[in-house]
Amino acid sequence: MHHPPALLRSLAEKVGTPYWLYDARVIRQRIADIQFLTNTDGVQARFAMKACPATKVLREMHAAGIWIDAVSGNEVLRALHAGHPGGHTPPVICLTADVFRDNALDVIREHGVLPNIGSPGQIADLVRAGYRGPISLRVNPGFGHGHVNSCDTGGPSSKHGIWHDDLLATKDAAARAGLAVTMLHAHIGSGPQFAELHENLTRLAADFVALLPHFPDLAAVSLGGGIPHNYKDHGAQVPMEPLHELFDTCHRRLCSAARRELRVEIEPGRYYVAPGCTLVTRVTDVKQTRTNEKGSGATFAMVDAGFVDLVRPAMYGSYHAIDIVGRDDEDPNMAREPIVIAGPLCESGDIFTRDDRELLAPRMLPRPVAGDLLTLRDAGAYGYAMSSNYNSIGRAPQLWLEEDGRVEMISRRETVEDLLKAETSQFL
């Protein structure tokens, strides 16, 4: 959504640029959408917190009765810090992983969260760690979709999950280890097309029905995440009523096939938060290259945000709407020209306007001038969460715009002291 230029300028004066601005109203509306989808008894939503693990966001989820899908030991600890309970009854926090690293096994054992394993060898890992509780198995069903091809979450090229032909052997290994399989999980990804999502979810539910006789301890089936967000068309609405019916139908079909009550789960990440955050940056200069034998010249608007802040365009050419603050982009008479938006990093790929082949894709924009603010919209999912300290740059502050207009800083700009505090001189 568009924020008033005066607000964005005022915040820039107070905290500098770049900064992240979350909109409480938008995030709560997205949470309400998911609550509608899962308002059937026996259907439960989780938040794939990797998309946006800020404590403020996690507390919003807790208040709304949304459970958590974590993917590391530290994500579990962050969810606990935000108020989500540990334990298996019910398993409010689930830890999904193909590899246990760092403190993951310790956290599972100490806090009793449900491990959702995606690799058969993890059964032996759990046994060695002394874990004897219930587990979930993540299946690679052999099909799926990613937001772009490099993000496929199901199929032969996906690293995620246990290949479907190996599932029963893994179940037998779990039984020999005394680990009860209480959930089956698959995630087919958030492709941009709703029809494909609907078809894949229907197919996935049918696959789970066929598996039910082999899993007598099963209490839940997770259909994963994958509710799409349209980055290019802000008017696009996901058809909520058909999705609600689909989850209701899947639940009834699975319970009927199992002849007992089962919980059906979904775990969106992107959908809750993508439109709820804007990255605000300042134009520092506008410069040009000229056409020569190597290619066409371009106009570069240099800004103070880079892929240390928002890496998605550099990583896989993802699209974010860009606005020059204070220019009416709805005005058909506004002159526009092709502009490349480039950041401050010592890296030629530090470009926000790229296509999925990683080529320059200039955006038709009013020509900015130095000092203008520029916004990158829909930055809430995998924005701050994937930011880094490359070039020794501190992460930008996160601000939260409450519905009554108050603005709260929920994380400050990092300093060099933050960057240096893990460095040590310790002989081993």
pLDDT at 152: 46
Our answer to whether residue 346 is catalytic in this structure is yes
Q: Is residue 75 part of a domain?
A: yes
**Torsion angles phi and psi, residue 29, rounded to 5:** -65, -40
- Do 224 and 302 lie in a common domain? no
Mean pLDDT, the chain, as a whole number? Answer: 92
Q: Is residue 427 part of a domain?
A: no
What is the sign of the dihedral through the CA atoms of 331, 24, 419 and 387? negative
Mean pLDDT on 146-167: 67
Q: Is residue 358 part of a domain?
A: yes
Mean pLDDT on 281-292: 96
Q: Is residue 426 part of a domain?
A: no
Query: At CA 9, angle to CA 284 and CA 350, rounded to 5?
Result: 35
Task: Give me the catalytic one of 52, 94, 255, 346.
Answer: 346
Given 240, 272, 304, which residue is the final one in a domain?
A: 272
pLDDT at 190: 53
> How many folded domains does the chain comprise?
2
Specify the CATH number for the domain of residue 138.
3.20.20.10
Mean pLDDT on 230-240: 86
pLDDT at 237: 86
Rounded alpha-carbon distances, angstroms, from residue 132 to 110, 145, 171, 254: 12, 34, 15, 27
pLDDT at 234: 80
Specify the CATH number for the domain of residue 9.
2.40.37.10
- Do 287 and 177 lie in a common domain? no
Examine the pLDDT at 105 and tell me if it is beyond 90. Answer: yes
Given 272, 307, 323, which residue is the final one in a domain?
A: 272
Examine the pLDDT at 174 and tell me if it is beyond 70. Answer: yes
Distance in angstroms (rounded) separating the CA atoms of residues 397 and 416: 14
- Do 318 and 362 lie in a common domain? yes
Examine the pLDDT at 22 and tell me if it is beyond 50. Answer: yes
Confidence bin at 189 (pLDDT 50/70/90): low
DSSP state of 136: E
Q: Is residue 108 part of a domain?
A: yes
pLDDT at 147: 42
Q: Is residue 129 part of a domain?
A: yes
* Token couple for 67: 């459970």
Examine the pLDDT at 151 and tell me if it is beyond 50. Answer: no
- Do 15 and 35 lie in a common domain? no
Given 272, 289, 321, which residue is the final one in a domain?
A: 272
User: In this structure, how many other beta carbons lie within 10 angstroms of the beta carbon of residue 22?
Assistant: 27
Q: Is residue 174 part of a domain?
A: yes
- Do 16 and 32 lie in a common domain? no
- Do 182 and 305 lie in a common domain? no
- Do 48 and 123 lie in a common domain? yes
Query: Is residue 414 packed enough to be buried (19+ CB in 10 Å), middle (13-18) or exposed (0-12)?
Result: middle
Helices (H), 141-239: 167-176, 194-211
Terminal Cα distance for the chain, rounded: 52
pLDDT at 329: 67
Examine the pLDDT at 143 and tell me if it is beyond 70. Answer: no
Containing structural domain, residue 252: 24-272
pLDDT at 83: 98
- Do 374 and 230 lie in a common domain? no
Mean pLDDT on 108-121: 96
- Do 74 and 161 lie in a common domain? yes
Q: Which of 299, 305, 302 is nearest to 278 (CA)?
A: 305
Confidence bin at 233 (pLDDT 50/70/90): confident
Q: Is residue 88 part of a domain?
A: yes
- Do 141 and 154 lie in a common domain? yes
- Do 153 and 114 lie in a common domain? yes
- Do 9 and 54 lie in a common domain? no
